[in-house]
């Protein structure tokens, strides 16, 4: 840090940092594929749902946009947007948890890491939710768990299928054991849905690990993955340190999980609507009359 | 006595060494010695009490991992009669980091499930340091479903650093194994009581931790991530584990304050390893009472109140 920056009050300094970060994100008309490095025309990339037209690499997509694109255009309604995180442990590492939430909210324009929306999928009503990985790594604290649970209860009440797109680093450490308990809470709601024959389709996207994988994300009636998404329980660094060997190529990627029998199918983002609608139409095609 | 002492226990260790020394001194003036020993013993008890009254979260973490802390099978020996261990997940292997079996608790048959750590090096390896693999969680699931079929209450004992993060564990679906247990436990129509006896390490602990009552031994810990893991992520250095232990709120009193457990089970002076029998008796008392209360409920109110309980976890504003 230069002497000049040191003289500045801390608040201004962090604002400066944020500006730098923003400048690094290309906002112009041209972007780059994070995998094949191809230079891409942004409107075209967006039309292609953030999938690289050159190498088919699935780049991250924000929760709101994901749901807006997944659902039919009419009748989209966001639910439970009024829930927001509190700081039950008064948690502080290099930053206070409250501060981290504020920063994440400003950065993403969203209230927390999970968004719930109801609407239609090919004219059939569903409830869907999606993680915003850019909100604190998509981590699951009380709000994420509660929104998921309410979405499930909405599905139960309205007898509509539920689809969840996950992208999460796992439980949110800053809420301590309360975050861990969200795993139990969300799984219990899915247990009720299973008992009532309400379909839950879990779509695992890049990256989904930790407490989210070890709870609702693996409990789909059907588990789907996007191509080449990193999906696992433990992080790769932790595994490497434990087993002291290099991890095999493609380890914990969607294709690996398909081979090992963990997911039912891999679906290209551009076919997600068609394929999920086709799955749901069969699951719902022969129900014990409601 | 050959005991392992933790850093903060050194004043106790010194006094104990002195007492031992006096005992070995000739028995010429036995009366005087006896007095001195009694005096030192009283001093030691006071010292222990004052140290243990003000334990930091990090010290409790160390206690929860104490090499002489009673493990699941130790408590099984004290609490149950006619214990018969059952093995295997019927699909892949028998994971010895997770034990399960039937026994009698006050004469009544119950299913017992718990993580098991090893005492000596060889057993530690066999038990994989209490880190369970998918087959262990699936064994637990199988035994819990067996229990439900025959209306046996389920008592679980939690003591694990966490689920095993290995290549094979990932290949065999560690996440799914844990997740499935959470779902299954939320709806099994028999009473489930879970007790954290040592380390409650994250998802690997929770995978046998969903029930109608959850207890923690006084000096056990229950955490979303190990203090070391949290420190290396948020503080970028595992050396800050002590700070992280404080911040994460992993001790029984903090977890109780969050409303996530029902009882803190008191430990004997100096921790459960000082008197395993007493610790076991304390656990037994609580389990007996809780089991009596839960047995009064019919299945649907049992499941309804379990669901309500799980559903209530969380703090947020709206």
Grouping H, G, I as helix, E, B as strand and the rest as coil, residue B156 is strand
Nearest chain A Cα distance for residue B78, angstroms: 30
Mean pLDDT of chain B: 94
Residues of B in contact with A192 (CB under 8 A): 187, 307
Among chain A residues, the shortest Cα distance to B309 is held by A185
Residue B271's nearest CA partner among B27, B8, B23, B69 is: B69
In this structure, what are the phi and psi dihedrals at residue A60, rounded to the nearest 5 degrees? Answer: -60, 150
Least reliable range by pLDDT among A4-8, A86-90, A160-164: A4-8
Cβ contact, residue pair B176, A262, below 8 Å = yes
Mean pLDDT value of segment A201-213: 97
CA distance A103 to B80: 53
Q: Does A210 touch chain B (CB under 8 A)?
A: yes
CB pairs under 8 A between A and B: 191
- Chain B neighbours among A 122-151 (CB < 8 Å)? 142-143, 145-146, 149
Q: Is B180 on the interface with A (CB under 8 A)?
A: yes
How many angstroms separate the CA atoms of A64 and A117, rounded?
Answer: 9
Q: Label each residue of B162-177 as H, E or C.
A: CCCCCHHHHHCCHHHH
3-state helix, strand and coil shares in percent for chain A, rounded to the nearest 5: 45, 20, 35
Question: What residues of A are in contact with residue B224 (Cβ under 8 Å)?
Answer: 171, 173, 175-177, 179-180, 211
B191-240 pLDDT, tens digit per residue, is: 999 999 999 999 999 999 999 999 999 999 999 999 999 999 999 988 99
A93 Cα to chain B: minimum distance (Å): 6
Higher pLDDT, A274 or B19: A274
Element (H, E) at A107: helix A97-108
Sign, CA torsion B224/B226/B228/B229 = negative
SS3 B97: coil
**CB A39: neighbour CB atoms within 10 A?**
9
pLDDT in tens, B264-316: 999 998 999 999 999 999 999 999 999 999 999 999 999 999 999 999 999 99
Judged by CB atoms closer than 8 Å, whether chains meet at B186 and A187 is answered as yes
CA angle, A228 as apex, B204 and A72 as ends, to 5°? 95
- Percent of the residues in chain A that have a pLDDT greater than 70, as a whole number: 89
Cβ pair B206, B138 in contact under 8 A? no
What was the pLDDT predicted at A260?
A: 97
With an 8 Å Cβ cutoff, is B310 touching chain A? yes
Per-residue model confidence as pLDDT tens digits over A4-31:
555 555 554 444 444 444 445 456 789 8
- Find the mean pLDDT for residues A190-196: 97
Checking if the pLDDT of B75 tops 90, the result is yes
| Subunit contact B224:A179, Cβ cutoff 8 A | yes
Indicate the average pLDDT of chain A: 91
Q: How far is CA A222 from CA A210, A234, A273, in A?
A: 19, 22, 15
Alpha helices for chain B (secondary structure H): 10-24, 30-53, 57-64, 72-79, 121-126, 134-149, 167-171, 174-187, 202-206, 227-234, 241-248, 252-257, 276-295, 299-311
Tell me how far apart the alpha carbons of residues B183 and B185 are, in angstroms, rounded to a whole number: 6
> What does pTM read for this prediction?
0.92
Decide if A265 touches B, using CB distance below 8 A: no
The complex scores an ipTM of 0.94
- Find chain B residues with C-beta within 8 A of A142's C-beta: 313-316
Q: According to the model, what pLDDT value does residue A20 have?
A: 46
């Amino acid at each position: 840090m230069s002497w000049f920056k040191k003289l500045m009050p801390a608040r201004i300094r962090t604002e400066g940092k944020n500006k730098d970060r923003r400048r690094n994100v290309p906002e112009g008309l041209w972007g780059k594929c994070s995998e094949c490095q191809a230079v891409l025309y942004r409107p075209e990339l967006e039309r292609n749902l953030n999938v690289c037209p050159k190498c088919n690499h699935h780049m991250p997509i924000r929760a709101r946009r994901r749901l807006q694109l997944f659902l039919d255009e009419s009748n989209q309604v966001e639910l439970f947007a009024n829930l927001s995180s509190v700081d039950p442990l008064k948690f502080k590492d290099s930053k206070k948890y409250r501060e981290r939430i504020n920063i994440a909210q400003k950065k993403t324009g969203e209230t927390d890491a999970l968004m719930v929306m109801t609407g239609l999928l090919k004219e059939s009503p569903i409830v869907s939710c999606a993680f915003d990985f850019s909100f604190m790594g998509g981590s699951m604290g009380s709000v994420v768990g509660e929104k998921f649970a309410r979405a499930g209860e909405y599905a139960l009440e309205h007898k509509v299928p539920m689809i969840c797109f996950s992208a999460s680093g796992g439980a949110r450490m800053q809420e301590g054991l309360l975050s861990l308990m969200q795993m139990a809470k969300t799984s219990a709601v899915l247990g009720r849905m299973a008992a009532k024959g309400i379909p839950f389709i879990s779509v695992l996207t890049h990256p989904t690990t930790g407490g989210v994988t070890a709870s609702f994300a693996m409990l789909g009636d059907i588990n789907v993955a996007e191509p080449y998404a990193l999906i696992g329980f433990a992080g790769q660094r932790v595994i490497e340190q434990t087993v002291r060997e290099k991890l095999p190529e493609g380890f914990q990627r969607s294709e690996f999980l398909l081979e090992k029998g963990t997911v039912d199918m891999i679906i290209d983002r551009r076919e997600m609507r068609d394929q999920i609608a086709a799955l749901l139409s069969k699951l719902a095609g022969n129900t014990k009359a409601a | 006595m050959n005991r392992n002492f933790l850093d903060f226990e050194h004043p106790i260790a010194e006094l104990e060494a002195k007492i031992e020394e006096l005992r070995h001194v000739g028995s010429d003036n036995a009366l005087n010695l006896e007095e001195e020993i009694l005096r030192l013993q009283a001093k030691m008890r006071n010292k222990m009490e004052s140290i243990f009254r003000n334990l930091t979260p990090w010290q409790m973490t160390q206690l929860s991992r104490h090499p002489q802390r009673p493990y699941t099978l130790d408590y099984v020996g004290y609490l149950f009669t006619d214990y018969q261990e059952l093995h295997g997940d019927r699909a892949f292997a028998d994971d010895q980091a997770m034990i399960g079996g039937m026994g009698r608790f006050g004469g009544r048959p119950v299913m017992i499930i718990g993580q098991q750590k090893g005492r000596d090096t060889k057993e530690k390896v066999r038990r994989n340091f209490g880190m369970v693999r998918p087959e262990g969680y699936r064994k637990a699931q199988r035994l819990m479903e067996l229990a439900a079929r025959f209306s046996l209450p389920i008592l679980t004992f939690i003591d694990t650093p966490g689920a095993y993060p290995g290549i094979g564990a990932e290949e065999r679906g560690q996440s799914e194994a844990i997740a499935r247990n959470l779902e299954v436990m939320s709806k099994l129509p028999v009473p489930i009581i879970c007790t954290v006896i040592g380390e409650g390490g994250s998802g690997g602990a929770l995978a046998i931790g969903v029930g109608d009552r959850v207890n923690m031994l006084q000096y056990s810990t229950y955490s979303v991530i190990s203090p070391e893991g949290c420190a290396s992520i948020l503080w970028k250095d595992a050396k800050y584990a002590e700070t992280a232990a404080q911040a994460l709120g992993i001790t029984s009193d903090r977890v109780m304050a969050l409303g996530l457990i029902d009882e803190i089970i008191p430990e004997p002076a100096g921790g459960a390893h000082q008197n395993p029998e007493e610790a076991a008796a304390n656990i037994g008392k609580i389990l007996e009472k809780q089991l009596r209360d839960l047995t009064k409920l019919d299945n649907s109110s049992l499941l309804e109140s379990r669901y309500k309980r799980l559903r209530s976890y969380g703090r947020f504003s709206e």
